[in-house]
Amino acid sequence: RLRLRLRDGADPLLHATGGRLTEPNDPYQLIVESDRYGVAEYFVDEVREALLLDQVPVTPVTEYLLPGPAVPLSFSAGDGTASFDGDRVRLEWNWKTEDAKAAAGIRTLPLAELAAVEWLPAAGLDNGHLRFTVKHAPTKAPPKYDPHSVELWGFKKDPLMALIAAAVQARLPHPARTATVDVHKALDARPETPSLPVAPVEDGHDALLRRLRELGELRRTGVLTDEEFTMAKQAILKRM
């Protein structure tokens, strides 16, 4: 099996689903036939080498690097139908919806009023859901009764609702930026403290020398092969 691991925060689909999509619905997993293992191993080596040479960081990102699904979208599963046109979410109910929830009628949620979206698959005896959190109106009501949620029962069409979640998530503020704003607000609210001396900034030449030392350590510990070390070293030397 091939599994591609993305940087945290890179894909709105992974964020909206919490990484809970399983094979065959996970777009970042691929089952490999036994007679193709050699090709798969070669592919993995090529990707790892490219990441090393291009010095792609593994740190989380503060904006999505992948787009969400194209809109408009509309899918039916569980107790309702969810539609999204890029500006608003529309929730419609069917004959299986609880009476109290259906009594609220069709729900139209402008994107600007949404704080979050979550897709959760059914597991065992627990139902799943597609839930939209509305600003200034949070609720802890079960999805069965929440007029801003579609309850999912574990049927084949449930993963399609994840596409709705991803399309909405891609158009909401990135969670990392939201967290940064919250941190800045908290820092602004703190009392002033004496400033500490600032550590000297490492210049470019010293940074490259440090990276060479790190590469040498990775080779000594067996993380890098001699060939990988040589290629990475050449890439760094070209920048000096």
How many CB atoms are closer than 10 A to CB 61?
A: 15
Is 129 found in the same domain as 164?
yes
Of 138, 158, 175, which one is at a domain's C-terminal end? Answer: 175
How many CB atoms are closer than 10 A to CB 186?
A: 9
In angstroms, how far is the first alpha carbon of the chain from the final one?
A: 39
Q: Tens of pLDDT along the chain (240 residues)?
A: 899 999 999 999 999 999 899 888 999 999 999 888 888 898 899 899 999 988 999 999 999 999 999 999 999 999 999 999 999 999 999 999 999 999 989 999 999 999 999 999 998 889 999 999 999 888 889 999 999 999 999 888 899 999 999 999 999 999 987 655 544 454 455 566 555 555 454 556 677 777 777 777 777 776 667 777 787 777 777 666
Work out the angle at residue 212's Cα, subtended by the Cα atoms of residues 210 and 215, and round it to the nearest 5 degrees. 110
157 assigned to some structural domain: yes
Is 146 found in the same domain as 79?
yes
Taking only the tens place, the pLDDT of each residue in 22-50 is: 888 999 999 999 888 888 898 899 899 99
Is 77 found in the same domain as 41?
no
Domain count, the chain: 3
Count the alpha carbons within 13 Å of 236 in the hemisphere toward its beta carbon: 21
Query: What residues are paired with 151 via a beta bridge?
Result: 129
Q: What is the C-alpha to C-alpha distance for residues 6 and 176, in angstroms, rounded to an integer?
A: 15
193 assigned to some structural domain: no
**Residue the block writes with tokens 């760094």:** 236
Residue 218 belongs to domain spanning: 204-237
User: Residue 233: what pLDDT?
Assistant: 76
Tell me if 61 sits within 8 A of 195, measured CB to CB. no
192 assigned to some structural domain: no
Q: Is 35 helix (H, G, I), strand (E, B) or coil?
A: helix
185 assigned to some structural domain: no
111 assigned to some structural domain: yes
20 assigned to some structural domain: yes
Of 156, 175, 194, which one is at a domain's C-terminal end? Answer: 175
- Comparing CA positions, the residue from 24, 124, 120, 130 lying closest to residue 77 is 130
63 assigned to some structural domain: no
Distance of CA 197 to the CA centre of its chain: 37
Does this model's pTM top 0.75? no
Taking only the tens place, the pLDDT of each residue in 38-92 is: 888 988 998 999 999 889 999 999 999 999 999 999 999 999 999 999 999 999 9
How many CB atoms are closer than 10 A to CB 77?
A: 23
User: Residue 141: what pLDDT?
Assistant: 92
User: Residue 229: what pLDDT?
Assistant: 75
- Comparing CA positions, the residue from 115, 6, 98, 109 lying closest to residue 51 is 6
131 assigned to some structural domain: yes
At residue 150, what are phi and psi to the nearest 5 degrees?
Answer: -110, 125
Of 135, 155, 175, which one is at a domain's C-terminal end? Answer: 175
The one-character DSSP state at 16 is H
Instruction: Give the DSSP H or E segment for 150.
Output: strand 149-152
User: Residue 17: what pLDDT?
Assistant: 93
Is 80 found in the same domain as 18?
no
Is 137 found in the same domain as 100?
yes
Is 84 found in the same domain as 163?
yes
| Torsion sign (Cα): 136, 169, 20, 55 | negative
Q: What is the C-alpha to C-alpha distance for residues 194 and 82, in angstroms, rounded to an integer?
A: 53
Is 42 found in the same domain as 13?
yes
Is 221 found in the same domain as 137?
no
Is 159 found in the same domain as 103?
yes
Is 21 found in the same domain as 96?
no
